[in-house]
Amino acid sequence: MVRLTHTVKTSGCASKLPVGDLNAILSTIPPMEDEKLLVGFETSDDALCWDLGDGRVMVQSVDFFPPVADEPYDYGRIAAANALSDIYAMGARPAVAMNIMCFCSHMDLEVMRDILLGAQETCRQAGCVIAGGHTIADATIKFGLSVTGFTTRDRLWTNRGARAGDLIVLTKRIGVGVANTMIKAGEADAGFTREVLDGMMELNRSACELASSFEVHAATDITGFSLLGHLYEMAHSSGLTIEIDSSAVPVYPQALEGARFGFIPQGAYSNRDYLEDKVLIDEGIDRALCDLFFDPQTSGPLALAMDPASAEDFVSRFSGVGAVIGRCLPEREKAIVVRA
């Protein structure tokens, strides 16, 4: 069996176009406006939101990328979990999806079948139906989903509602980009590899459903633009500063060691370059830990801005990796401050 990650140069969300380049283009494109469009691309939110006029909101997103796992079934599961995460980040429940597949004409069609079956299994776990899609021949495999979900206007989350005094909660470990670089280089043991793959397959469904019982002021999911990149979007859109406690951020310990040995994906450098003038990092913080803060994640955690009581209650009740990693402050010179 061909190792899928060895057929591509970049894996998962590390393959995203650098955020600075993307914003340079999007800033020149005037947004299309409609009174029913509640959320577009202006604030770099996770999905578009369309008012259905009866109190319900339709939420749509699309995500696809090159292989992030060697086994086709695992790749399909991770790609689906990653695409579904954008819907959960808006406080919505995914309902229906369509496959997006670029496939190499010379590769065994069983590979395609296993990718599709993996995605189908993850969507089944999410209560979401895959009902078609589109496939083209390409030199590099790429796969993902377009997803439609629903919520109500009073339960809709965006990345721009954070308030001074809120705490920031994270719902998974970070370090996936470094971990995947290690795995591809053959420098990750079997146990760590399985842990990382399972983490990427883990749906953000339980975190979303539990958080929906609290008042969430803002939310996003942490993917290719890194922990600091996506929190910057939240801080900038909300007009405040987010202060991060570097010691509170949950990371994969072996990824931290990998960062010390230089297993840094190119996307981390692009994220760091873009955020250089937007982030203040205290001296004395481990350089490898800082690298993980800029590391592109695939199917990463939700980041939730909640009032302190709700945040603490959520963390105490959440069955996964939940941690309060920072707080929201009135706007300062830098949108993100990372404390030692």
- Which residue shows structure tokens 């409609």? 34
- Within the chain, residue ranges assigned H as helices are 19-26, 72-88, 109-126, 176-184, 190-201, 205-211, 226-238, 253-260, 266-275, 287-293, 308-317
Q: Which two tokens stand for residue 278?
A: 């937007």
Beta strand 48-51 pairing with 37-39? antiparallel
Cα–Cα nearest to 15, from 125, 115, 105, 140? 140
Query: Distance of CA 175 to CAs 182, 226, 227, 249, 291, Å?
Result: 11, 9, 10, 11, 9
Element (DSSP H or E) covering residue 146? strand 142-152
Q: Is 333 exposed, middle or buried (0-12, 13-18, 19+ CB in 10 A)?
A: exposed
Query: Is 104 considered catalytic here?
Result: no
Residue 273 makes CB contacts below 8 A (sequence gap 6+) with 18, 20
Alpha carbon distance 135, 100 (integer Å) = 6
Query: Distance of CA 93 to CAs 127, 128, 158, 281, 304, Å?
Result: 8, 8, 14, 36, 17
Cα–Cα nearest to 37, from 53, 26, 25, 22? 53
Q: Which one of 13, 128, 208, 290 is the catalytic residue?
A: 13
Q: Which two tokens stand for residue 19?
A: 């955020």
The residues that are catalytic are 13
